[in-house]
Amino acid sequence: MAIIKPNNNTISAITALPAGVGGKVLQIQTTFKSSVSTVSTNGDGFVDVTGMSVSITPSSSSSKILCQASLFYMINNTTYGNLGGIRFMRGSTAIGTGGQDYSSGTVVGIDNSTNNTNLFATVPLLFLDSPSTTSATTYKLQAKNSIGGDINLYVNGRRNGSNYGASTITVMEIAA
């Protein structure tokens, strides 16, 4: 049986997918975190969620990056408030934010003003990004208290260090 040579090229000369094959997954990168860590939010600013980042180097500047995350956490406020939201970041840029700066994730309405240590949540996040680059790109999660004050976010467990779950962040390069 003869080898078919697309567009009369040798097999080694083919460096890209033929036209019309968009939507294929080209690569997947993931970070899995099962250890417990504490993230302290202060005031109204966003802070990085420890251990929840992943890097990918797109093969084409026209590729899309499908970002997925599942964050398991418990909150405990030291003053007053609730966790306002969790968002995706591409490097230092918030992505998918819409009208609110945390709307690329899920706005979490857990009121923990009673200091209850057993308020757990799993937040699923999904966003299709267009980074327009072939450089290594880091995606990460950030968290924020919606109404000011300090809140501790206990990723994968309780404030006493007990482990109750696991979290993951995954990015997939999708051919355009």
48 Rama sector, left if φ>0, alpha if ψ -120 to 50, beta otherwise: beta
Please tell me the predicted confidence (pLDDT) of residue 51: 93
The pLDDT, as a whole number, for residue 14 is 56
Q: What is the pTM of this model?
A: 0.78
Q: What is the dihedral of CA 49, 52, 57, 63, to 10 degrees?
A: -80
Angle among Cα 97, 61, 92 to the nearest 5 degrees reads 35
- What does the mean pLDDT of the chain come to? 78
Say if residue 133's pLDDT is above 90. yes
Q: Sketch out the chain's domains with CATH numbers.
A: 21-174 (2.60.120.1340)
Helix, strand, coil percentages in the chain from 3-state DSSP, rounded to 5: 5, 50, 50
Percent of the chain at pLDDT > 70 equals: 66
pLDDT tens, residue by residue, 15-60:
665 666 678 999 999 999 999 988 887 766 788 999 999 999 999 9
pLDDT for 147 beyond 80: no
109: pLDDT confidence band, cut at 50, 70 and 90? very low
Q: Are the C-beta atoms of residues 154 and 71 closer than 8 Å to each other? A: no
In eight-state DSSP terms, residue 107 is -
What is the pLDDT, as a whole number, of residue 54?
98
| Dist CA 43 CA 146 (whole Å) | 9
Mean pLDDT of 144-168: 79
What is the Cα–Cα distance from 139 to 91, expressed in whole angstroms? 6
How does residue 103 score in pLDDT terms, banded at 50, 70 and 90? very low
DSSP conformation class of 61? T
Q: Place 131 in a pLDDT band, splitting at 50, 70 and 90.
A: very high
Residue with tokens 């949540």: 121
Highest-pLDDT range among 13-17, 114-118, 156-160, 171-175: 171-175
